[in-house]
Structure 1
Amino acid sequence: MKKTTQFLLLTVALIFSTVAMSQSTITGTVMDADLNAPLPGANIIEKGTTNGVSSDFDGKFTLTTQATSGKIVVSYVGYGSITLTFDGSKDLGEITLSADNSLGEIVIVGIADVAVDRKTPVAVSSIKASEIALKVGNMEFPEIMNTTPGVYATKQGGGYGDSRISLRGFDQSNTSFLINGQPVNDMENGWVYWSNWQGLTDVASGIQIQRGIGASRLAVPSVGGTVSIFTKAAERKQGGSVSQVIGNDAYTKTTASYSTGQNEKGWSSSFLLSKWSGDGYVNFTKGSGWTYFAAVGYAPEGSKHEFNFSFLGAGQWHHQRDVWVSIRDYQNFGDNGVDRRWNTNGGYLNGEEFNMRRNFYNKPLATLNWDYEISDNVKLSTSFYGSAGRGGGTGPRGNNFRNADIDLYPFNIDLTEHLNNRGRGAASRNPDGSINFDNVVNVNRTTTTPYTGGIGAYDGLLIGSNGFRDDGVNRSVLVRRASMNSHDWIGMISNLDFNAGKMRYSIGVDLRDYTGYHYRALENLMGLDGYYSTGNKNSAGEIIETTIKASPFKNTGLKGPMIDYYNIGYVGWQGVNGLAEYSNEDSFTAVLQAGLSNQSFQREDLFDQPTSPLSKKKNVGGGYIKGGANYNINDANNVFVNAGYISRQPNFDAVFPNFANAINPDLQNEKITSFEVGYGLRLPSFTMNVNLYSTKWGNRFVSRSFTNTGGTTGTAQFKNIEELHNGFELEAKYTVASNFKLSGMLSIGDWKYTKDFTSTLFDDTNTQIGTGTLYTKDAKIGDAAQFVSFIQADYGVGDHLFFDLGWRNVNNLYADYSIVDSDFVNPDNQGALKLPAYNLIDLGATYRFNLFGNNTSARLNINNLFNEEYIAESNTNIHADGSNPTYNGIDVRNSVWFGFGTTWNFSLKMEF
């Protein structure tokens, strides 16, 4: 027995000594190359294994390897990774990581087309996760991109999530937005509603803005460019974080996240939950929402298959300022000169904030990614995704304009004209100009007589309507309706990539199926007992007393009852694409891409067209071809060129104009041509990218309703509208010292219409009644600044305290307008209204420290530090003529959005 015990002890000792001899201890310190500061939380993984650690607060790490020799990979989100070789225990000293356009070690599914620095021949800018986390705070998500060339993002009316972005002068319906390679532009109108994606600030791991034709293989609306947003995946290291953000106007956001890390069987999972709320910088724009995210990954060691499932959503509600406000309204109804917080929409009901305009939406996105490494040279990447968006926006309903006491909202005039000069709505306005909705309820009830009609269940009740006025029904009322735009969307994208020597080939498919539900429901009867609806032509009329709640997590009324309208849009998409790329040892790359697509359109109207509720299906083909080349002259210099042609299908409303089921007989694809050249410089302390571009957007179709002098209604249809966007862009970074860095950009555009346009006029029976000409040649494109410069200084004080100061100059900004505005009916028109230039200064400070043994950071952002008063955009084109007062040279009758004054946010984040 004694000998047996000694033998076992000897065996165990030998085993442990063998294990010890097969291990090595690797130490080092991970540093930020730009600021020469430690990088806490960097990943250090033994290559080919799941064995890894994270750097501590001072960037230091100790890794016990599973083998005596091999390689380790050092990475940090938003930075390029470094692979180092070891042979036995070793202190690697300082390991510096630098940010680059590859977005570092973001977990990117194979369908995402990421532009690679000095290889992919497109103009590109990248924003890393650390910058997003630090600087967004309570800013709108698109605003983080304002520091990159070609981008112009504003808050619009100022409600949470009501921002918008344009790229190279093209609005967001003509810019492609991808989340992990999947298109998210609305399939009917191409728009992106950022309130649906409020949670992106919490889960984004990087943004890449590819200007111009971009590198995407999908047939997407990349007229201005492609914005790829990458979210977190199931992280392979264990850990989590908690953070708290506070900001101006009672803004608060609490976020918690946790990742299990990857276990021995290859499973990993990550979770995030965030809650935000705020009163809003603009009066009566309170909002609140939740962000939820979960990801599960499966990547067993040695397997050729890798799976990642993610579920992302951001349910929210917020009040809005959608009624455009004239400059004189800001002056007349606000406090002390121009009151940028003024909101014509809002007021109080039962002592609480109430607004006729309330947006609410919940759009969860589920994605399953499958990467299959068939061989060393062949890889299949597939993504299945689905989204079920539910929600809409509320607004006024009823002929309240017939009662001066509740005629609250100006139509085609400003509030100054409506209230002061016409005396409308004063009885329901408080002394400060806000709306007394309690009085609206009182007027609704006291001016409505009991119902006496034939629908017996409602005898004696107070019933309102939008037009019906018999049997005691009152049409001169105001209720709150909800206009719903819900959808069901499923899709699949798959790409097969294979390498053969210096060539890379790809073939892919893109399948989408979209159903959009458009209808109105009652949300608040404002003191009445019911609403008499005559919107459904299949019915003689019905009384509705059922209301929905304007909440993203409540019943949205999809199963009824509905009022006013109810129609469904069916959009299908089938696309194929191919790519061929030649790369010669990283010195020369040439790529050719092409794609074909078929888009199907069908419309079903369940209310307004009882004789033909379902339209015929219309199939429209489209496609693109694009290519380019990059040449690395040496390690420091490179040049690139690209060109492309896109034949893009029209939007849903162009296929079915005037909300009818009749297919437009003059349907035509839009034609886009693009050409670009660029130059890059990479030196140890200085990097620069410069490019010139020219994009022509032609063959556009626009339809506009009109009323002639005789009161006849009709439509004016414009074909072959053409724009030309030329420009110059520069982006640079200079490391002055180890703790001092300068970065900046310059964007100069020349965007205008190329010719005059002729329209064909039709009456309400679709009979041609004439033609007209609009004199728009050389008119400047509005709604985006054509000159923007930005410079930022980053300075570190020691290893823990960092400051950044940014200055942004905006010029050559023109009013947004429709080219069918009456301004352009005369040859001698003044063109687009030029708005005043403005300058914004933003200040930030970060302090990193150790709290309870965990990496912790505190961040303060102050935006618009000097409280600059500026017009961010104008919706009208009224030129000053001396007959009215002006503000900085602008006629005060113009309806504008002023930018926010000084705002701030403070965040505290602890990682564990």
Structure 2
Amino acid sequence: PILMNYLPNVVTTSDAGAGVGYTGIRVRGSDATRVNVTINGVPYNDSESHGTFWVNLGDFASSVESLQLQRGVGTSTNGAGAFGASLNILTDSASEKASAEIASSVGSFNTFKNTLKFSTGRLNDNFEISGRLSKISSDGYIDRAESELKSYFLQGSYSDDNTLIKALAFGGFERTYQAWFGIDAETLKNDRTFNPAGIYSDEDGNTRFYDNEVDNYNQDHYQLLWNERIDNNWSTNLALHYTYGRGYFEQYKEDDDFAIYGFEPILINGELIENTDVIRRRWLDNDFYGTTFSLNYKNIKSDIVLGGAFNKYEGDHFGEVIWAQYANDSEIRDRYYDGTGNKSEFNIFAKGTFKLNSKLSLYTDVQLRTIDYKTDGINSDLNPFVINDDFTFFNPKLGLNYILNKQNSLYTSFARANREPNRTDYENGSPKPEQLNDFELGWRLNREKLIINSNAYYMLYNDQLVLTGEIDDVGSPIRANSGTSYRLGVEIDANVKLSNRFSLQSNLAM
């Protein structure tokens, strides 16, 4: 997301402070959980947290052909409802010529990036194989916020005049020292790079930091994509996908109560011991799979798409104690909590753009989305965590575009989006789903040496889940429904062509 930092109304973040490791994006003030992300039309947001963890796909930008960011609700796509924006990513297309590339970069804070790419080019006019291996490492700006990211991308494709079939495998491994907890204003003033993660006191009262307070995760993606052109008007798209993720974050916890881990107090030399230092790992092991499909009809006056998706998520959440200062009758890697989260989603949509005359065009879009979410077992607080919720959402959208003349055009749109709560919301309360009504009005100017895009938006929320200012025991913000709320703003971006070689780009958001 750091690459999108200069887009209108976009702010990117980096936990380590150097753009490597855990990074995030905010659009119109909404955090990354409200940006609906797809890779080749396949949802990338985590089904339970709604988060997008780019750290799992280090150097993924080296395998991206294009990306499109739509602010606001945007058009119907697969995955969770977009409450801030939609980000649609397409990976590299097949290369016509054989190639090989080795690239190395070095930056501040002992940052290194090494990339190896290759392509066979067209084989027998139809086949192509390409791939990438990458490694990124950095010490980070924040204390001890080092990162090590390894990733891969492999693609095989077949194409002819009417058919394109691609098989992809990509993923990565990340090991990052935790740097997501934040600090108070006074500490920021005196020690900007202070990182409280892993802090503890030794037997002599000296402050120390646990050297393995890390996040460790693997994620692998597999996609099979089939695009077929039936004739000059009709085409189809079908995708099958599977994602496997597994990993943990490790923590040193000082003087924790035995009860947190289900331990019984123990007697040592006649003294009742009820607290202990522990090292724990909190695991997530999940599978995500499904299919997406669409049928497209296009002629001079209309462009119509009928599509949908079915996706299934199965996640295991569990915790292990791998060391304790005072042992009891538990075994290493005993699970002190263990639970599941299962989510099924089906959506179908129809959208179209219709040219009513030489100046006016109409955009319509309707989507039906159903979700079934179930959890079982106990959570990290050792409380039963059982959810059985079903949602059915109807999301309509309507827009008009009017061409005033060759240089000026106006547009207006309305879009509704509904969104289910995430797992953390359920763990901290009894949340209700959110609804957003998004109103947009814009003007475009396109001259030979000047391009201006201006847009005003009014986003009206019902039961928006907003931050309460509290955080949970792993630093995640706690949210609660807020009734009626809104976001209101203006976005302007401009491109000035100074000469054949130079141009000036700027944007403003209020």
Give your verdict on TM over 0.5: yes
Q: Kindly provide the amino acid, as one letter, of the partner of residue 6 in structure 2.
A: T
1:573 corresponds to: 345
Asked if 1:734 is matched to 2:464, the reply is no
Shift of the 401–219 alpha-carbon distance from structure 1 to 2, 3 Å rule, reads: closer
CA offsets, 1:52-100, max 9 Å, x none?
Answer: xxxxxxxxxxxxxxxxxxxxxxxxxxxxxxxxxxxxxxxxxxxxxxxxx
Asked if 1:373 is matched to 2:135, the reply is no
Shift of the 616–486 alpha-carbon distance from structure 1 to 2, 3 Å rule, reads: closer
1:689 corresponds to: 453
1:457 corresponds to: none
Identify which of 500, 507, 510 aligns with 1:745. Answer: 507
Instruction: Give the conservation status (yes or no) of the 8 Å contact 1:694–1:727.
Output: yes
Instruction: Give the conservation status (yes or no) of the 8 Å contact 2:379–2:385.
Output: no
Asked if 1:145 is matched to 2:8, the reply is no
CA distance in 1, matches of 2:467, 2:509: 32
CA drift at 1:177: 1.6
1:295 corresponds to: 155
CA distance in 2, matches of 1:320, 1:212: 31
CA drift at 1:486: 2.4
CA distance in 2, matches of 1:682, 1:702: 38
Instruction: Give the conservation status (yes or no) of the 8 Å contact 1:345–1:355.
Output: no
Asked if 1:309 is matched to 2:167, the reply is yes
Identify which of 165, 175, 192 aligns with 2:35. Answer: 175
Q: Kindly provide the amino acid, as one letter, of the partner of residue 488 in structure 1.
A: D
Tell me how large the CA RMSD over aligned residues is: 3.2
Asked if 1:198 is matched to 2:76, the reply is no
Instruction: Give the conservation status (yes or no) of the 8 Å contact 2:134–2:151.
Output: yes
Shift of the 705–627 alpha-carbon distance from structure 1 to 2, 3 Å rule, reads: closer
CA drift at 1:669: 3.0
Which residues in structure 2 correspond to 1:426-505 (within 5 Å)?
468-472=264-268, 475-499=274-298, 502-505=301-304
TM-score by length of 1: 0.50
Asked if 1:649 is matched to 2:420, the reply is yes
Asked if 1:225 is matched to 2:124, the reply is no
Determine helix, strand or coil for the equivalent of 2:148: strand
1:511 corresponds to: 310
Determine helix, strand or coil for the equivalent of 2:390: strand
Identify which of 319, 324, 333 aligns with 1:520. Answer: 319
CA drift at 1:614: 9.1
Shift of the 505–321 alpha-carbon distance from structure 1 to 2, 3 Å rule, reads: closer
CA drift at 1:377: 1.1
- Unpaired segments of 5 or more residues in structure 2? 203-207, 471-477
Shift of the 474–229 alpha-carbon distance from structure 1 to 2, 3 Å rule, reads: farther
1:234 corresponds to: 94
Shift of the 347–621 alpha-carbon distance from structure 1 to 2, 3 Å rule, reads: closer
CA offsets, 1:649-670, max 9 Å, x none?
Answer: 333455x5559xxxx5xx6432
CA drift at 1:596: 0.5
CA distance in 2, matches of 1:390, 1:266: 36
Greater CA drift, 214-223 or 265-274: 214-223
Asked if 1:391 is matched to 2:164, the reply is no
CA drift at 1:572: 0.4
1:678 corresponds to: 442
Task: Looking at secondary structure, tell me which structure has more helix per residue.
Answer: 1
Shift of the 567–734 alpha-carbon distance from structure 1 to 2, 3 Å rule, reads: same
Shift of the 322–581 alpha-carbon distance from structure 1 to 2, 3 Å rule, reads: closer
Task: Looking at secondary structure, tell me which structure has more strand per residue.
Answer: 2
Identify which of 197, 209, 212 aligns with 1:345. Answer: 197
CA drift at 1:196: 2.0
2:369 corresponds to: 597
Determine helix, strand or coil for the equivalent of 2:187: helix
Instruction: Give the conservation status (yes or no) of the 8 Å contact 1:468–1:474.
Output: no
Aligned residues: 492
CA offsets, 1:107-137, max 9 Å, x none?
Answer: xxxxxxxxxxxxxxxxxxxxxxxxxxxxxxx
Determine helix, strand or coil for the equivalent of 2:5: helix
Instruction: Give the conservation status (yes or no) of the 8 Å contact 1:400–1:478.
Output: yes
CA distance in 2, matches of 1:608, 1:346: 19
Instruction: Give the conservation status (yes or no) of the 8 Å contact 1:284–1:346.
Output: no
Q: How much identity, in percent, do the aligned residues show? A: 21
Asked if 1:189 is matched to 2:45, the reply is no
CA distance in 2, matches of 1:308, 1:647: 33
Shift of the 156–696 alpha-carbon distance from structure 1 to 2, 3 Å rule, reads: farther
Shift of the 573–684 alpha-carbon distance from structure 1 to 2, 3 Å rule, reads: same
Shift of the 306–585 alpha-carbon distance from structure 1 to 2, 3 Å rule, reads: farther
2:405 corresponds to: 634
Determine helix, strand or coil for the equivalent of 1:362: strand
CA drift at 1:340: 2.3
Asked if 1:261 is matched to 2:121, the reply is yes
Q: Kindly provide the amino acid, as one letter, of the partner of residue 187 in structure 2.
A: D
CA distance in 1, matches of 2:496, 2:165: 40
- Unpaired segments of 5 or more residues in structure 1? 1-141, 332-337, 403-463, 533-541, 547-560, 707-715, 749-912
Greater CA drift, 509-518 or 493-502: 493-502
CA radius of gyration, larger in: 1
CA distance in 2, matches of 1:252, 1:276: 6
Shift of the 286–657 alpha-carbon distance from structure 1 to 2, 3 Å rule, reads: closer
CA offsets, 1:487-531, max 9 Å, x none?
Answer: 1100211000113552222211211100121111234x27x5x85
Instruction: Give the conservation status (yes or no) of the 8 Å contact 1:284–1:354.
Output: no
Instruction: Give the conservation status (yes or no) of the 8 Å contact 1:283–1:343.
Output: yes
CA drift at 1:387: 0.5
CA drift at 1:396: 2.6
CA distance in 1, matches of 2:111, 2:479: 46
CA distance in 1, matches of 2:466, 2:502: 51
Q: Kindly provide the amino acid, as one letter, of the partner of residue 37 in structure 2.
A: F
Shift of the 613–286 alpha-carbon distance from structure 1 to 2, 3 Å rule, reads: closer
Determine helix, strand or coil for the equivalent of 1:671: strand
CA drift at 1:474: 5.0
